[in-house]
Structure formats: C-alpha cells, structure tokens
C-alpha cells in the first residue's frame, strides 16, 4: 500500500532538511574541524536516532490509530499548529555562530554518538514523528510496508542533506552571514503554505 499523500510528505521533509537546525550546525562545525569523512559517522548517528524514534511511534501507538482513526484528526490540527510554530520560530531566529575551535582527536564512535544524541534529544524530532509522520500512513492497510517506504525516504534524504551541508559548509556559512534573514523567511513562508495544504487536503 502506497503511503497517503507521499509527495506532500516529501515536500515537508525536504523543507525541514534544508532549514539550518541543530544537526546541520553540528555537521557544519565538524566539516570545518575534522573533514567530510568524519561527518559521515555523525550523519549515520543522526538517522539512526530518527529511525528509532519513528519505529517507537508507529509500532507502539500504531494499533491505537487503527482502532481510533478519528483521533488522527486531532493530530492533524496539532501537527498544523506545530508547523506554524516552526514557521514562526524560523522567522524569528537568527543564524547561530559556528565554533571554529578544533579538537585534536575524536574516535569514530564519538562522531556517531554526537549525531545520535543531537537527533535523539531534539524536541523538534520528537514532535515531528508523533504529530506529523503518522498522518501519512493508512493504519487500516498494511502500515508496515508504508512505514518502511516513509522511513527509508526520510533517512536517505536526511543523510544526503546532512552531507550536502558538510560539503558546502564554508560557502553556506558565508551566505548565511551575508543574508541572515532570507533563508529563514523563505523557509517560514513555505511551512505556512504546507500547513494550509494539510488543512484542506488531509481528510479523516
């Protein structure tokens, strides 16, 4: 069974991934200090945490959604409010300074651990997976297949976006400092549009 509104899901995660958040700031810093190859392990830690979060959400409370499909409507509106909050947060936020302090050595496990903890303890991630992720799964069908389609899409694109930030770190930093509000304003506007699409297109 194909996930519900798969292409809308793609739009949401793509715009979340291009937004400079905590994992991207970490990747940029590590890219500057340790090189691209070490960032691979940080990115792997990030997507591992996200996979665990999504698995817990879907397979712990998935049966609840199956027995109470109308409850998804509540999650829809909470999800819309969360997206609007993200838009406001992005619009009001300022780009963070990236540390240039260099540490002489770190183990590969420490890079993986840092990525895992940053993503695993992120409040935004714990809001995204329970509130938005389940809305794209039809729990009356084979939701296991749908889950693997969505989470595979998510982790692959997340990993690629993290590595893109690592590869373009120096240019990205220069651009953000030169245009401190442009990227946040554009991302906030896009999130507002996505919230409106969910309001009018997601029906339960």
Bigger pLDDT: 77 vs 1: 77
Q: Is the pLDDT of residue 115 over 80?
A: yes
Provide CB contacts within 8 A for 59, sequence distance 6+: 147
For 152-198, how does the pLDDT look when each residue is reduced to its tens digit (9 = 90+)? 999 999 999 999 998 887 676 666 666 666 766 776 787 788 778 77
Predicted TM-score (pTM) of the model is 0.73
Q: What is the pLDDT of residue 64?
A: 67
86-110 pLDDT, tens digit each? 788 767 765 554 444 444 567 889 8
Contact between 60 and 184 under an 8 Å Cβ cutoff? The reply is no
Element (H, E) at 11: helix 6-18
- Contact predicate 162/24, CB 8 Å: yes
The tokens describing 127, both together, are 């809001």
Q: Which residues of 108-119 are buried (b: 16+ CB within 10 A; e: fewer)?
A: eeebbbbbbebb
Among 9-23, 28-42, 78-92, 93-107, the least confident range: 93-107
Residue 39 has pLDDT above 50, yes or no: yes
């Amino acid at each position: 069974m194909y996930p519900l509104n798969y292409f809308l899901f793609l739009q949401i995660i793509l715009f979340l991934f291009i937004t400079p958040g905590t994992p991207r700031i970490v990747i940029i810093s590590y890219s500057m200090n340790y090189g691209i190859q070490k960032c691979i392990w940080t990115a792997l830690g990030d997507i591992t945490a996200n996979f665990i979060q999504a698995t817990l959400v879907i397979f712990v409370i998935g049966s609840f959604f199956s027995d109470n499909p109308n409850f998804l409507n509540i999650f829809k509106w909470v999800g819309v409010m969360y997206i609007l909050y993200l838009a406001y947060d992005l619009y009001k936020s300022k780009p963070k300074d990236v540390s240039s302090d260099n540490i002489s050595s770190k183990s590969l496990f420490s890079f993986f651990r840092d990525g895992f903890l940053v993503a695993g303890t992120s409040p935004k991630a714990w809001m995204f997976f329970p509130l938005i992720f389940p809305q794209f799964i039809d729990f009356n069908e084979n939701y296991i297949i749908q889950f693997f389609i969505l989470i595979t899409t998510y982790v692959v694109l997340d990993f690629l976006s993290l590595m893109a930030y690592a590869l373009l770190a120096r240019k990205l930093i220069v651009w953000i400092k030169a245009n401190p509000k442009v990227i946040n304003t554009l991302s906030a506007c896009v999130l507002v549009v996505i919230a409106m699409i969910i309001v009018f297109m997601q029906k339960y």
